[in-house]
Amino acid sequence: MNKITTSGKYASDLAPGILDERKLPDASFDRVWDSIILDKELKDRLLCQAILNFTIRKNVGREVIPMHGVILLVGQPGTGKSSLARGLASQVAKHLSSGPTFLEVEPHGLTSSAMGKTQRAVTELLGSTISEYAEQGPVIVLLDEVETLATDRKKLSMDANPIDVHRATDAVLAQLDHLADRYDNLLFIATSNFEGAVDEAFISRSDLVLQIPMPNADARKSILEDTITGLARKYPSVKQILHDPDFARLVVATDGIDGRQLRKLVATACSFRRETAVDPSKLTAADILRAAKLDRDGGLAAKGKGA
C-alpha cells in the first residue's frame, strides 16, 4: 500500500532520501516531546538553541558568529534521540510566526554501492531538494544516524572503504556550508548512536552537541509511572502497581536499561502468564520486576535465541 504522509503526499511522491514531510507544529510530535523524560535543564537548553537558530542567524552575520544551523544529539540507542528531535521540531514551530516544514531524511536511502552515486545523491538532496523547501519558508530537517552520511574520514581505510564514502562526507560538509550561507531559516537536527563515528568536521559545524544520557533513577521512575499510567487508561486496575512495594525495587532493578526498553518491559511482563496476555489488567509489579531482572541478566535475549 502506498502510504499517505501528513503532508497529503504519497510516500512514493517524496523526493529520494526523504522519509517524511509534514507541516509544524504537529500534535503527535508534541506528545512525543512530553513523553521523553529528560532533565528539564537539558530540554530547555535544547529548545533555546533551536529557537536561537531562527532569531540570531537572520540578524547577525556568519563572519561574526559562524552558526551552521546544526544540532547534534548523541547517545546510546533507546535514549530517545530521534523522538526528542521530532518533538523539538514541533516545539520550535510554536515560537515562529510561520509554521515550518519538517523533513526527515532516510540516510540509508542515499547510500549506494555504485561509485559516485552516494555523493551525487547527497548533493542532490541537500543542494537541490532541501534548498527548494528553504526557498519557500522555514525548514527543520532530521538527519537520523548522521554517521551514515558524515563518516569520520580519519577512521576509514581507502582500501577497505570505497572512495565514494569519503566523497559523500565531503559533499555533506560542502553543502552544509553552502546552505548556512544562503538560508538562515533552515535547521538540521542530527542524531548519532556513535559520536566517535561522526566526522570531526561535522561535529565542528554543529552549533550544539548534546549528550542524551541513559535514564537515572528519577527518570526511570518517571518513565515507568508514565507507562503504567498510560496503560491504566485502558486497564484501570494496573495503576495499583505504582503503590506496590515491588515498584520501588523495580526502579532499582532497571538501572542500565534505556527509556525505550523500559516502556517495552511493561508489555513484556504481560507475556509471562497466559492470564495477563489475555487480560493485561491482571499485570502486577512482580511481573514487571521479573521482566526487568531477565532483561538485566540477558535472559530475554537468550530465551529468544533458543526459541
Q: Count the domains in the chain.
A: 2
pLDDT tens-digit series, residues 190-227: 999 998 999 999 999 999 999 999 999 999 999 999 99
Residue of 2 and 168 predicted with greater confidence: 168
Q: Do 86 and 70 reside in the same domain of the chain? A: yes
Does residue 90 share a domain with residue 44? yes
Q: What is the pLDDT of residue 75?
A: 96
Global confidence as pTM = 0.89
Which CATH number fits the domain that encloses residue 183?
A: 3.40.50.300
pLDDT digits (tens, 9 = 90+) for 171-185: 999 999 999 999 999
Q: What's the distance, CA 8 to chain centroid? A: 23
Cα–Cα dist 234/94, whole Å: 31
Over the chain, what is the mean pLDDT? 90
Whether residues 207 and 231 fall in one domain = no
Annotate the chain with three-state secondary structure. CCCECCCCCEHHHCCCCEEEEEECCCHHHHHHHHHCCCCHHHHHHHHHHHHHHCCCCCCCCCCCCCCCCEEEEECCCCCCHHHHHHHHHHHHHCCCCCCCEEEEECHHHCCCCCCCHHHHHHHHHHHHHHHHHHHHCCEEEEECCHHHCCECHHHCCCCCCCHHHHHHHHHHHHHHHHHHHHCCCEEEEEEECCHHHECHHHHHHCCEEEECCCCCHHHHHHHHHHHHHHHHCCCHHHHHHHHCHHHHHHHHHCCCCCHHHHHHHHHHHCCCCHHHHHCHHHCCHHHHHHHHHHHHHCHHHHHHHHC
Q: Are 28 and 5 within 8 A, CB to CB?
A: no
Tens of pLDDT along 246-255? 999 999 999 9
Kindly state whether residues 166 and 235 are assigned to the same domain. Answer: no
Domain membership of residue 140 (yes or no) is yes
**Structural domain of 241:** 217-297
Q: Scan for cell 542530527, then name that residue.
A: 190
Domain boundary among the residues 157, 188, 211 is at 211
Pick the last residue of a domain from 185, 211, 237.
211
> Do residue 83 and residue 175 come from a single domain?
yes
